[in-house]
Structure 1
Amino acid sequence: MAGLRERKKADTRAALAAATLRLAAERGWEHVTVEAVAGEADVSYRTFFNHFSSKEEALLRPGGAEQPRLSTRLRAQPADLSLPAAVRAAVREEVGELTADPATLRTRMTVLAGTPALLPRLVEMGAADEQAMALAIAERTGQDVDLGPALLAAVVSAALRVSLMRWHGQDGATPLATLADEALDALAAGLPPATPAR
């Protein structure tokens, strides 16, 4: 019974997230309301808030509060993996989930790119995710969280963000996994020196 209840909950959450994205793409973000999303998903207004705290969360974190984060994926890696290998494995898992439905990811990226009003929430969620990632790195390495782990978490987050932007800019021509690997390889090798444009 619990399994069925959880599946129904997940299905409702997925329907709400899909409705939020669909309405945002069709109407523009400023014209999306929780009432409209609930109606589109054929559930009550109250049911929406059983799954998401806001329409922003429904768009930006469609799996809800239970959606795995990069920090969760890192903690799940085998203890005998080196930190770089564990981080890369966690990023690959994240990318695999993001690209499970490439069309939906492209639509979400298009909505985000065209909606500056979402930037503050994106920054807020990104900062929280980086902090959680830094804690996971600190736990794995035994380091204090305030420098090395915090810096690595920020850099990995930036690498994933840049990879997503490149993927969207190329309209998915290069697999996101390839772009993420390129970004991580560049970080591992040390960034090339900046040279002035001629």
Structure 2
Amino acid sequence: MDTTDRNAAPDSPLGLRERKKAATREAVHRAALRLTVEHGLDQVTVEAIADEAGVSRRTFSNYFATKEDAVLWGEEQQAATLLRSVAERPAGEPPWTALRAALRTLEPGPVSPDRETITRTRLALRHPSLLGRQLATHAGLEQDLARVLTGRGVEPLRSRVLAAAFLASLRTTLRTWVESEHPAELLDLADEVLRLMSLPFDEAPRGDRQA
């Protein structure tokens, strides 16, 4: 693994270059998000995003393939944080417990969402192309999360099932919270969704009406 970037001194040319690239990526992302909120995705062009961010069209393409990628860039950052957090959980911790504990490390994120997380969710629900891109990101995260769980000693098929169930729970939590205008603390809602997901499917939770 190349550790040059990690070991570079803070004021070295390479360190400065990487910081400038990160700042440019962030500026383009923020511009894309802002314009999409104000005008709707269909009315926003890559050129408009580049102008808003103060960069060239070519520079935009160096960082993002599409405007959808630019709007949803924060999804990838949260996914990376989640994967790292799961991998760093104690080795003997049961997998579902490790997943739930790792969720609490996302700050801001699905447990305590910042304004951007809420905004991205609402935009994805309104724009099919954003929703499709978001689902593609989640599909990749599901595969990566299953690999991390397998690396922790979980049987591969079980790893895939756990990853799928966990991410489905997160999507359900966040969209329910957004669509119902925050009826409860998000953490409480997340805990309840995860609890329900962990129940056997034929077990009726308290409050369910029996036929």
Give the equivalent residue in structure 1 for 2:175: 165
CA RMSD of aligned residues (A): 2.7
Letter in 2 for 1:12: T
Q: Greater CA deviation, 100-109 or 36-45? A: 100-109
Q: Which has the larger radius of gyration?
A: 2
The runs of 5 or more residues in structure 2 that have no matched partner are 1-11
Q: In the alignment, which of 180, 193, 196 is matched to residue 186 of structure 1?
A: 196
Select between 110-119 and 67-76 the one with higher mean Cα deviation: 67-76
Q: Which runs of 4+ in 1 moved over 6 A?
A: 194-198
CA deviation vs aligned residue, 1:116-137 (integer Å, no higher than 9, x gap):
2333322322211111111111
**Match for residue 86 of structure 2?**
74
1:164: Cα distance to partner? 0.7
Query: Within 2, Cα distance between the matches of 1:6 and 1:89?
Result: 32
- The answer for the alignment partner of 1:124 in structure 2 is 136
Q: Show the counterpart of 1:48.
A: 60
**Total equivalences in the alignment:** 195
Pick the aligned partner of 2:109 from 86, 90, 98: 98
Cα deviations by residue, 1:172-191 (Å, 9 ceiling, x for unpaired): 45333332222222223445
1:142 CA drift (Å): 4.4
TM-score where L is the length of structure 1: 0.83
- CA change 1:167–1:5 in 2 (3 A) is farther
Say which of 32, 36, 39 aligns to 1:20. Answer: 32
State the AA in 1 paired with 2:187. Answer: A
Check the 8 A contact 1:19/1:40 in 2, yes or no.
yes
Structure 1, unpaired ranges of 5+: none
Range with greater deviation from structure 2 (121-130 or 1-10): 1-10
Structure 1 residue 114 displacement after superposition: 1.0
Partners of 1:67 and 1:157 in 2: CA distance:
11
Residue 7 of structure 1 aligns with which residue? 19
Question: 1:31-63, CA deviations, whole angstroms, 9 ceiling, x for partnerless residues?
Answer: 222111111111111222232222111122237
Overall identity of the aligned pairs, in %? 36
